[in-house]
């Protein structure tokens, strides 16, 4: 039997639709729309300029975000609401933070300038007829230039675009300079004194550039030499992190920060003017002795780039050598690297050392660069002191 389709007039469908729409009494209800809020935040790098081999810290905050990520191999970051991450770019890099939430995604950028170590600038203090001058030279010994005068104890900030030094006059002031590598471009950025401290010396900027560690005497207790810290704007002078009675012979040498900013390495002198290397927390707590060599005095310490090793010099009977030791003071790691030398400082990439040649009775002290183990030394300056990258 053949089945047939029933044919309905068009009006049937109209009445059926009306009838269906009227079913259910009061009609249907709808949920309110979901509020979607676009995330917001901040993103920055500190410092914004570093040398190759150094690190900078990326910091972020966010609101209304459920996830956060940073490009250039950093990846997802937590906590999403705010945090920081240390990075070590080898070339100038712009980092992008992406915040994602229910209302979509937003991006923020932070640029980091990287100075190549191929032409790393070494800062040093003049000797002899050039005493009271600060100069720079490239690590291969080329393009030397005198960039400041009537100051001493120079030290780079991490950006290698500014440095701190001490006034040679009775003012006992810290001077902070900016420079692009020539005397004509060097400008005095700021100056400040730190009363009641007199005779300040060896100022060393922290890795973030916000604080200086230095050595000085308090006018209230002139017989005591101490290690202090002060903010780079001249405020926030601390009580001494360490003090000793000043006597003849060796004093406290240059305190230097670890690269993570957590520690300060320095030398301490006992009542017999014998010196050993010590490390303390950046606030002066938890001091510990690193070297233990009664036969010679150890001074001028500096951390390696990874903070696992300390380079220092050791002198006895007019003979000085450069040594290294593990930061925890493990005796078996102590090793002599270079004869007739003082003041080792590792390069920002950790591959080289700059140091001062020293032979008892000589009137000049040439500066050298070698590999990090003291091999293949190259003289870069005929006469200088206090070199630093």
Q: Which domains does the chain have, with CATH numbers?
A: 40-115 (2.60.40.2470), 117-388 (2.120.10.30)
Above 70 in pLDDT, residue 115?
no
Residue 168 predicted with pLDDT over 90:
no
Phi, then psi, of 298 in degrees rounded to 5: -110, 130
By the 8 A CB rule, do 306 and 88 touch?
A: no
332 CB neighbour count, 10 Å cutoff: 7
Q: What is the pLDDT of residue 222?
A: 64
| pLDDT band with cut points at 50, 70 and 90 for residue 259 | very high
Residue 2 pLDDT greater than 50, yes or no: no
As a whole number, the mean pLDDT across the chain is 85
Q: Are 47 and 89 in contact (CB under 8 A)?
A: no
Six token digits for residue 108? 């923020």
| The token pair that represents 39 in the structure block | 């995330």
Phi and psi, residue 275, nearest 5°:
-115, 140
Q: How many CB atoms lie within 10 A of CB 129?
A: 8
* Closest C-alpha to 119, from 146, 92, 138: 138
Q: How many CB atoms lie within 10 A of CB 199?
A: 13
Q: What is the pLDDT of residues 307-364, one digit of tens each?
A: 999 999 999 998 999 999 999 999 999 999 999 999 999 998 899 999 999 988 888 8
188 DSSP β-pair partners: 177
Question: Confidence class of residue 11 from pLDDT cuts 50, 70 and 90?
Answer: very low
Least confident segment among 84-93, 216-225, 253-262: 216-225
Instruction: Write down the pLDDT at residue 132.
Output: 83
Query: What is the pLDDT confidence band of residue 373, given thresholds at 50, 70 and 90?
Result: very high
pLDDT range class, residue 251, cuts 50, 70, 90 = low
Q: Enter the pTM of the model.
A: 0.70
């Amino acid at each position: 039997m053949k089945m047939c389709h029933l044919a309905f007039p068009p009006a049937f469908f109209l009445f059926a639709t009306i009838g269906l729409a009227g079913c259910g009494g009061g009609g249907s209800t709808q949920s309110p729309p979901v509020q979607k809020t676009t995330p917001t935040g901040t993103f920055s790098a500190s410092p914004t300029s570093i040398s190759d081999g150094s690190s900078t810290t990326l910091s972020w905050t966010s609101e209304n975000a459920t996830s956060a990520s940073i490009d250039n191999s950093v990846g997802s970051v937590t906590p999403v609401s705010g945090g920081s991450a240390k990075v070590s770019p080898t070339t100038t890099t712009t980092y992008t933070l992406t915040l994602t939430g229910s209302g979509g995604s937003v991006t923020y950028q932070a640029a980091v300038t990287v100075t190549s170590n191929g032409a790393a600038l070494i800062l040093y203090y003049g000797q002899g007829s050039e005493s009271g001058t600060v100069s720079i030279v490239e690590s291969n010994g080329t393009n030397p230039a005198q960039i400041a005068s009537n100051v001493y104890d120079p030290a780079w900030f991490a950006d290698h675009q500014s440095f701190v030094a001490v006034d040679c006059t009775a003012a006992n002031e810290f001077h902070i300079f900016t420079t692009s590598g020539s005397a004509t471009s060097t400008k005095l950025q700021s100056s400040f004194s730190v009363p009641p401290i007199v005779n300040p010396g060896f100022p060393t900027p922290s890795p973030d550039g916000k604080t200086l560690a230095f050595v000085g005497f308090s006018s209230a207790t002139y017989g005591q030499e101490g290690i202090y810290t002060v903010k780079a704007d001249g405020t926030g002078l601390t009580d001494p992190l360490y003090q000793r009675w000043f006597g003849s012979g060796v004093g406290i040498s240059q305190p230097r920060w670890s690269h993570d900013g957590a520690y300060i390495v320095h030398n301490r002198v006992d009542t017999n003017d014998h010196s050993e290397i010590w490390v303390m927390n950046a606030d002066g707590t938890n001091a510990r002795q690193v070297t233990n060599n009664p036969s010679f005095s150890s001074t001028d310490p500096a951390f390696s780039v990874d903070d696992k090793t300390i380079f220092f010099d050791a002198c006895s009977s007019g003979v000085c050598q450069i040594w290294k030791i593990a930061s925890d003071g493990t005796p078996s790691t102590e090793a002599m690297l270079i004869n007739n030398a003082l003041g080792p400082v590792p390069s920002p990439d950790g591959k080289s050392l700059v140091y001062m040649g020293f032979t008892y009775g000589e009137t000049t002290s040439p500066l050298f660069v070698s590999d990090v183990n003291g091999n293949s030394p190259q003289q870069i300056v005929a006469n200088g002191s206090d070199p630093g990258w």
